[in-house]
Structure 1
Amino acid sequence: MKRIQIMLFALCCALLSNAQTEKFNGLDMNLGNLSRLSDAKTRSISPENFTGEKGKGALADPAADKGKRNVANAADAARDLGKGWKVNPFIIIEPGETFTMADIEGPGAIQHIWMTPTGNFNFTIFRIYYDNEETPSVESPVGPFFGTAWTQVSWLNSLAITVNPGSAFNSYWKMPFRKKCKITMQNLDSQPMRLYYQIDYTLTEVGADEGYFHAQYRRSARDPKSSLHTIVDNIKGKGQYVGTFMGVGVSNNGWWGEGEIKFFMDGDKENATIVGTGTEDYFCGSYNFENKRTKQYEEFSTAYAGLHQVLRPDGVYGSQQRFGMYRWHIMDPIRFENDLKVTIQDLGWRSGGRYLPQHSDIITVAYWYQREPHARFPKLPVVDDLEVN
Structure 2
Amino acid sequence: MLYELRNVSSRAATAENPTAAPGEGGRAGNGRKGAPCLSPLAKGETATLLDHEGPGVVRHIWCTVPPGNPDHLRNLIVRMYWDGQDHPSVEVPLGDFFGVAHGRQTEMASELVSMQEGKGFNCWIPMPFRERAVITVHNDSESDVSMLFYQVDFTVGDTLDESTGYFHAQFRRSNPCPLHEDYTILDGVEGRGVYVGTVLGVRARYRDCWWGEGEPKFFIDGDTDHPTICGTGAEDYMGSAWGLGWVLTPYQGAPVVDGDNGFYSIYRLHVRDPIHFAERLRLTIQQIGYGDIAKARAFFGSNYVGYHAAGAGPGSEQGMFDLSDDYSSVAYWYQTLPARPFPPLPDRAARSADLGPVAASTPKRADA
Per the normalisation by structure 1, the TM-score is 0.81
- Once residues 187 and 12 of structure 2 are traced to their aligned partners in structure 1, the CA distance between those partners, rounded to angstroms, is 34
Mark the runs of 5 or more structure 1 residues left unpaired by the alignment. 1-32, 62-82, 290-297, 314-319
Q: What one-letter code is carried by the residue in structure 2 that aligns with 1:128?
A: M
CA distance in 2, matches of 1:259, 1:332: 21
Give me the whole-angstrom Cα distance separating, in 2, the residues matched to 1:242 and 1:166: 23
1:141 aligns with 2:71: no
Alignment of 1:189-204 (within 5 A): 189-193=141-145, 194-203=147-156, 204=158
The superposition leaves residues 266-307 of structure 1 with CA deviations (integer Å, 9 ceiling, x where unpaired) of 111111111001111111100102xxxxxxxx2111111111
Q: How far apart in 2 are the matches of 1:305 and 1:178?
A: 31
Q: Distance in 1 between matches of 2:181 and 2:204?
A: 12
Amino acid in structure 1 at the alignment position of 2:11: R
Unaligned runs of 5+ residues in structure 2 are: 294-316, 355-368
Deviation at 1:388, TM superposition (A): 3.9
Deviating 4+ runs (over 6 angstroms): none
Q: Distance in 1 between matches of 2:236 and 2:330?
A: 18
How far off is 1:166 after superposition? 4.7
* 8 A contact 1:244–1:365 mirrored in 2: yes
- Mapping 1:54-93, distance limit 5 Å: 54-61=22-29, 83-91=30-38, 92-93=40-41
Inter-CA distance 304–46: structure 2 relative to 1 (3 Å threshold): same
Aligned to 1:321: 262
Instruction: Please give the alpha-carbon distance, in whole angstroms, between the structure 1 residues aligned to 2:228 and 2:132.
Output: 36
2:65 corresponds to which letter in structure 1? P
Give the match's secondary structure for 1:43. Answer: strand
SS at match of 1:324: strand
What code does the residue aligned with 2:203 have?
A: G
- Deviation at 1:206? 1.7
Q: 1:273 aligns with which of 228, 234, 238?
A: 228
For residue 226 of structure 1, report the CA deviation from its aligned partner. Answer: 4.6
Matches for 1:20-31 after TM superposition, within 5 Å: none
Instruction: Tell me how far apart the structure 2 counterparts of residues 226 and 87 of structure 1 sit (CA, whole Å).
Output: 56
Equivalent residue letter for 2:326: D
Partner amino acid, structure 1, of 2:227 = A
1:117 aligns with 2:59: no
Question: CA offsets per residue over residues 317-337 of structure 1, 9 Å max, x none?
Answer: xxx221111111111110000
Over the residues paired in the alignment, what is the CA RMSD in angstroms?
A: 1.3
1:345 is matched with which residue?
A: 286
Aligned partner of 2:309 in structure 1 is: none
Distance, in Å, in 2 between the alignment partners of 1:114 and 1:228 is 34
Residue 95 (structure 1) aligned to one of 22, 26, 43: 43
- Whether 2:274 is the aligned partner of 1:333: answer yes
1:224 and 1:368 map into 2 onto residues whose CA distance is 26
Structure 2 matches for 1:350-365, cutoff 5 A? Answer: 350=291, 351=293, 352-365=317-330
What is the CA-CA distance between 1:58 and the residue it aligns to?
2.2
Show CA shifts across 1:25-68 (max 9, x none).
Answer: xxxxxxxx21221111100011111111100112224xxxxxxx
Using CA pairs under 8 Å that are at least 6 residues apart, name the structure with larger relative contact order, 1 or 2.
Answer: 2
Task: Return closer, same or farther for 1:257/1:312 CA change in 2, 3 Å cut-off.
Answer: closer
Give the count of matched residue pairs. 322
Which residue number corresponds to residue 18 of structure 1?
none
Aligned to 1:41: 9
Q: 1:300 aligns with which of 234, 238, 247?
A: 247
Q: Could you tell me which residue of structure 2 aligns to residue 26 of structure 1?
A: none
Larger of the two Rg values belongs to structure: 1
Alpha carbons 2:179, 2:322 under 8 Å: kept:
no
Change (3 A) 1:312 1:353: closer
The DSSP-based 3-state class of the residue aligned with 1:384 is: helix
The answer on whether the counterparts of 1:144 and 1:245 sit within 8 Å (CA) in structure 2 is: yes
Percent same amino acid at aligned positions?
A: 39
Q: 1:182 corresponds to which letter in structure 2?
A: V
Give the 5 Å matches for 1:165-204.
Answer: 165-193=117-145, 194-203=147-156, 204=158
Deviations 1:200-229 (A, max 9, x none): 001122222110010000111113455311
2-side partners of 1:43 and 1:154: how far apart?
30
Cα distance change on mapping 1:123 and 1:365 into 2, 3 Å: same
**Is 1:150–1:388's contact at 8 Å kept on the other side of the alignment?**
no
The one-letter code of the counterpart of 2:7 is D
The one of 147, 156, 171 equivalent to 1:217 is 171
> In structure 1, how many angstroms separate the alpha carbons of the residues matched to 2:258 and 2:140?
25
Counterpart CA distance in 1 for 2:7 and 2:178 is 56
C-alpha distance after superposition, 1:60-104 (max 9, x if no partner): 24xxxxxxxxxxxxxxxxxxxxx2111111102111111111101
Q: What are the superposed Cα offsets for residues 316-375 of structure 1, whole Å, 9 maximum, x if unpaired?
A: xxxx22111111111111000000000001110241433221111111000001111111
**Does residue 129 in structure 1 map to residue 81 in structure 2?**
yes
How many angstroms does 1:148 deviate by? 1.8
- Checking the alignment, whether the CA contact within 8 Å between 1:227 and 1:347 is kept in structure 2 is no
CA distance, structure 1, for counterparts of residue 194 and residue 181 of structure 2: 26
- In 2, distance between residues paired with 1:117 and 1:143? 10
Write the distance in 1 (CA, Å) between the matches of 2:104 and 2:275.
30
